[in-house]
Structure 1
Amino acid sequence: MADGRTRYSPDAGGAGDVPRAAGAWRTTWLLIVFMLINFADKTVMGLVANPVMADLHLTREQFGTASAAFFALFSPAALGGAFLTRTVRTPVLLFGMVLLWSAAQLPMLFAAAGFGVLIATRVLLGAAEGPATPVAVHHLHGWFEQRDRTLPTAALLVGATAGVAVAAPVLGAVTHAWGWRWAFGVVGLAGLLWAALWHRYGKEGPLAPPVGRRPAGAVSEDGGPVPYRKLLLSGTWLSAAAGAFAAYWTVSASLTWAADYFQEVGGLGLRQASLLIMLAALAKGAAMLVHGLLVQRAGRRAAAGLRAHIPLPPGVKNGLVLLFSGVATLAFAATDVLWLKAVLLLGPMAVSDIIMTVAQTSVSRISPAERRGVALGTLTCVFALAGILAPPLTGRLVDAGETVADGYLGAYGVMAGLVIAAGVVVALFLRPERDARRLGVPEATLPRAGETA
């Protein structure tokens, strides 16, 4: 596996002052597939919920507990993996994580693997996948300047929604043809294939911070490096964590229960439910990509001295998006009209995931390069707590309802309340440029031709 530092000129290819290099976008595409497999791993539990509960004789609360086992070590592993970025190169970390993913999935192929094995493998899978997003984003941001990071970050996170979109029909068909155990086997084998490609092509970018020694970076008022305390207690970091927590609640609850919801409440078959889940994932991905393109366009207009069409801080804009999505979630839960549910799911509810891109790029903006991995890992550690809480709480609310439909009404009400509250916090406190100036963190820039990164 290549792990050396790659050098290139920011003028290589492309137009204007936006850096373009084959290595940067090749890395982006590889990491998109990485995230695709990552979320296919998560999605498999929700897609096989009904046959697993029937075969292993589980209640919804038990199944929710098994699903939440994925997150038992997810948050501490995210934090631990983030600290490893200070001493281990990110290509090595990404390679090792994928090998562990595959090792965690393949035991479910055996007929003797029951509820205990299911929980044990989900715990291992969560520990291996915990650092995935922060390490991938940290690695990706080593290839792009600050002003150019939103689009590739959005594309990277679209890999997550693509994982759901691809997994829903493919694993649904695999389950129908070969049984639910092979759904786990297929995603495990996909991980091994990606690891082989990464071993050949994975490289660090020119903006990757040195490993194993403290590089020059932003300093605090007393002349020392910016302390983590100041980063993690800034309004931008805290509001980014709040927004990401709410968005991840919707993601983790939907991954586990959306198929069951559309079958039990919507009256759809497994294939129809899988198709709707796929379309919802595609809508989320499209929303993030459009957002990334709009931010990139706005950045270019600002660089050219042109004023924005809507002179609002990014935090206000994204807070309003979350408020809009939260209200749509309430309407989704309240209506009994299936086509209206579909419109809300594929429209206003899909835009809540934009905050995941905003949170990652905002935290990266306020963090010196050598502290970026830990700041992103701590962000993941916090918002991933939603993955621990959402599946079992949703299952408990559904089981406690007089009917399944009543239970899901309460569960979606909780989800909507979280998204609305997060929208208010983001609108009030997400100010990455202001906090970056206060912390003394300059924009990252690529080295000129002949310079070492």
Structure 2
Amino acid sequence: MTVTTASGSGPGRKPSASAAADAPTTSDFETLAAQRGGVGPLGESRLTAWSLTSLLVSLYVINYADKAVLGIIAKPLREELGLSASQIGLVGSLFFLTFTIGGFFAGLLNRWMTLRWSLVLLGLCWAAAMLPMIAVAGFAVLLISRLFLGLAEGPSSALLHTAAYAWHPPARRALPGALLAGSASISKIAIAPLLTVITVSFGWRWALFALAAAGVVWAVVWLSVWRPGPYIASGKTKKVDDSEKGEDSPADAEPATPWIKIFLAPTFITGALLVMSVYALVSVVLTWLPSYFEDGLGYSQLQSGSMFAFPSIVGLALMLLSSVTSDRMITKGASPRVLRIVVPSVGVLISGVMLFLLPSISTPIICVLILSVGYGFAAMVFPLFNAAVAEICPPRQTAGTLGVFLAIMAIGGLVAPYATGVIVDAAATPAEGYATAFQVLGLVASVCAVLTLVFANPVRDRKRLRPHAVLTA
């Protein structure tokens, strides 16, 4: 995607009518890339782009494993420390309190530091947050360490998406966004069963130690290979003259939009509400799903930890399918609103209906199936809405915009785990309590999906918020 200003002439400025008519299309760029052996329109290596994207995905896998480990070790923690379900839920919710606060610092970190150093700092902080419970186990230590972990993880999503988007043009960001959003699924599919085996075989402390070691190893690899991409400027990167950037560099060619206008855009507001409602479901799954399978449906601890992956398998498949389809169809001229707003919103509506029916199901395996499929349809919202929201702001404001958007999203995680614990403690049986909690989550998400279907339109908001940009696929 090429971004040019709307006035003047020369590099980085609006082309004449004849020049616009002769502007290269995405397919022209793809042909040129093939002729150059995988070199994209701004000269970047596609192999490098996807290699670095894979490294970012691996960090996000560690990120979600750090979140998910509480759900995996919740039962042995409750037994060893004498905790109630409400206390575990409180720890889960307070994690998302500092996670929400931390999200608002993404834009500041992106200005103060390069992505290289900001992400390695966050990764090492996550590793450090695993260690206190290994040394001194207790409710207060658990609470403080999870609060610190939440604060350190808060800015990560926006910065990871910014780093990935820096290597991919806007029309092709749904797939890398899906891989990042799918990191939660990858973590639960590949890492959660491993952590469960470690917990059952060696104890929950070794699961925390394994996560701390993974964070340190990632940081070493990251420092040796990362370099900034061509599509989004980052932090304290070296400034260059306009003549050196070339007319195809979008990072600094466009004037900034007032933040308040971005945050009041209908696409931003309704999108934030929708992802917040779906993230509430994600946070409950991270905190309570193994306990639901074990205490509510009667499966063993090892079975519950392994089945933790079921919703994620469905979610990952649907996210990748919808994202690949979205990218391909948008580059061919399809409506971004239909593909990045309508499709995921309808998916959330389907999820809401399925979760609403959960309390009426008594067969355990059917409950697992309904929850897994419903979760999968809801999960499509993350990569598609992240890409949509990133489009309505100028490139240099991507980190700050996504930071606030994802911080609002995390409010769902602040409320839902604790509320679920309260519902479970008050219910006649654990199965009834968990099913009721999922039913409420489905109802709230359905209402938010209707709002996005009515009000969200990234094409309209992009034209209003970015009048100085002419965007071509």
TM-score, normalisation: structure 2: 0.85
Is 1:329 the equivalent of 2:355? yes
Structure 2 residue corresponding to 1:180, chosen from 196, 204, 211: 204
Structure-2 separation of matches of 1:443 and 1:47: 49
1:289 partner amino acid: L
Is 1:72 the equivalent of 2:100? no
- CA-to-partner distance for each residue in 1:242-289, whole Å, 9 max, x for gaps? 111011101101111111111112110011112221122122111111
Structure-2 separation of matches of 1:338 and 1:168: 21
- CA-to-partner distance for each residue in 1:6-28, whole Å, 9 max, x for gaps? xx997343499797522210111
- CA-to-partner distance for each residue in 1:15-63, whole Å, 9 max, x for gaps? 9979752221011100110110000000000011111000000010011
Conserved? CA contact 1:74–1:127, under 8 Å: yes
Is 1:371 the equivalent of 2:397? yes
Structure 1 residues 60 and 443: alpha-carbon distance in aligned structure 2, compared to 1, 3 A threshold = farther
Q: Match of 1:70, SS?
A: helix
- CA-to-partner distance for each residue in 1:388-430, whole Å, 9 max, x for gaps? 1111110001111122223223211211112101211121122
Conserved? CA contact 2:115–2:234, under 8 Å: no
Match of 1:128 in 2: 152
Structure-1 separation of matches of 2:433 and 2:252: 54
Structure 1 residues 443 and 336: alpha-carbon distance in aligned structure 2, compared to 1, 3 A threshold = farther
Match of 2:193 in 1: 169
Structure 1 residue corresponding to 2:409, chosen from 364, 367, 383: 383
Is 1:195 the equivalent of 2:226? no
Match of 1:62 in 2: 87
Structure 1 residues 280 and 210: alpha-carbon distance in aligned structure 2, compared to 1, 3 A threshold = closer
1:236 partner amino acid: T
Residue 348 of structure 1: CA displacement?
3.6
2:71 partner amino acid: G
Residue 297 of structure 1: CA displacement?
2.1
Match of 1:39 in 2: 64
Structure 1 residues 34 and 256: alpha-carbon distance in aligned structure 2, compared to 1, 3 A threshold = same
1:391 partner amino acid: P
2:110 partner amino acid: T
Structure-2 separation of matches of 1:315 and 1:208: 24
Match of 2:429 in 1: 403
Match of 1:81 in 2: 106
Structure 1 residues 443 and 366: alpha-carbon distance in aligned structure 2, compared to 1, 3 A threshold = farther
Match of 2:14 in 1: none
Conserved? CA contact 2:104–2:155, under 8 Å: yes
Match of 1:222 in 2: none
Residue 83 of structure 1: CA displacement?
2.1
Structure 1 residues 374 and 65: alpha-carbon distance in aligned structure 2, compared to 1, 3 A threshold = same
1:52 partner amino acid: L
TM-score, normalisation: structure 1: 0.89
Q: Which moved more, 1:159-168 or 1:59-68?
A: 159-168
Conserved? CA contact 1:146–1:443, under 8 Å: no
Match of 1:97 in 2: 122
Match of 1:358 in 2: 384
Match of 1:228 in 2: 259
1:13 partner amino acid: G
Structure 1 residue corresponding to 2:343, chosen from 301, 317, 341: 317
Q: Match of 2:342, SS?
A: helix
Structure-2 separation of matches of 1:13 and 1:348: 41
Is 1:27 the equivalent of 2:52? yes
Structure 1 residues 418 and 50: alpha-carbon distance in aligned structure 2, compared to 1, 3 A threshold = same
Structure 1 residues 432 and 51: alpha-carbon distance in aligned structure 2, compared to 1, 3 A threshold = same
RMSD: 2.5
Structure 1 residues 342 and 402: alpha-carbon distance in aligned structure 2, compared to 1, 3 A threshold = closer
Structure-2 separation of matches of 1:420 and 1:252: 17
Conserved? CA contact 1:101–1:128, under 8 Å: yes
Match of 2:21 in 1: none
Match of 1:450 in 2: none
Structure-2 separation of matches of 1:228 and 1:410: 39
Match of 1:5 in 2: none
Conserved? CA contact 1:243–1:359, under 8 Å: no
1:209 partner amino acid: A
Conserved? CA contact 1:365–1:443, under 8 Å: no
- CA-to-partner distance for each residue in 1:335-368, whole Å, 9 max, x for gaps? 1112322322332431101111122101110011
Is 1:237 the equivalent of 2:268? yes
What is the percent sequence identity of the aligned residues? 29
Q: Match of 1:292, SS?
A: helix
Structure 2 residue corresponding to 1:299, chosen from 317, 326, 330: 330
Match of 1:413 in 2: 439
Moved over 6 A (4+): 15-19, 443-446
Q: In the comparison of the two structures, how many residue pairs are matched?
A: 428
- CA-to-partner distance for each residue in 1:362-394, whole Å, 9 max, x for gaps? 111001112111100001110111111111110
Conserved? CA contact 2:106–2:155, under 8 Å: yes
The runs of 5 or more residues in structure 2 that have no matched partner are 1-28, 240-250
Conserved? CA contact 1:313–1:431, under 8 Å: no
Structure-2 separation of matches of 1:230 and 1:337: 49
